[in-house]
């Protein structure tokens, strides 16, 4: 589970990361770099779906992805700009 105030941004961050990796593939990026990015991305839905609060682990995974794949930094930025919805 992701804290409700971050849920929409978590979904958007996941989407953004996938789009960036698809762009990498279309631009003939190294397959090892693509695989490394996908290793981190595949973890994200399990954190969203977990019954326990995984908000901090989700952010840690996005930060690691952003460090390894600079093209995915915007996914972390999206998540970090989450605002509480009342």
> Quick one: pLDDT at residue 83?
53
**Total structural domains in the chain?**
1
pLDDT at 67 over 70: yes
Provide the percentage of residues in the chain whose pLDDT is more than 90. Answer: 88
Spatial neighbors of 68 by CB under 8 A, at least 6 apart, are 36, 37, 40
Reported as a single tens digit per residue, the pLDDT across 19-57 is 999 999 999 999 999 999 999 999 999 999 999 999 999
Please write down the HEC assignment for all residues of 33-82.
HHHHHHHHHCHHHHHHHCCCCCHHHHHHHHHHHHHHCHHHHHHHHHHHCC
For residue 2, being part of any structural domain is answered with: no
pTM score of the predicted model:
0.87
pLDDT at 86 over 60: no
> Quick one: pLDDT at residue 59?
96
C-alpha–C-alpha distance, residues 43 and 59, integer Å: 11
For residue 85, being part of any structural domain is answered with: no
Domain that holds residue 56: 7-80
């Amino acid at each position: 589970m992701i804290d409700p105030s971050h849920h929409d941004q978590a979904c958007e961050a996941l989407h953004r990361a996938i789009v960036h990796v698809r762009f990498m593939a279309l631009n003939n990026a190294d397959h090892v770099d693509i695989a490394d990015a996908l290793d981190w991305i595949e973890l994200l839905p399990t954190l969203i779906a977990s019954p326990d609060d995984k908000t901090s682990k989700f952010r840690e995974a996005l930060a690691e992805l952003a460090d390894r794949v600079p093209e995915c930094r915007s996914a972390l930025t999206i998540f970090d700009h989450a605002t509480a919805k009342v």
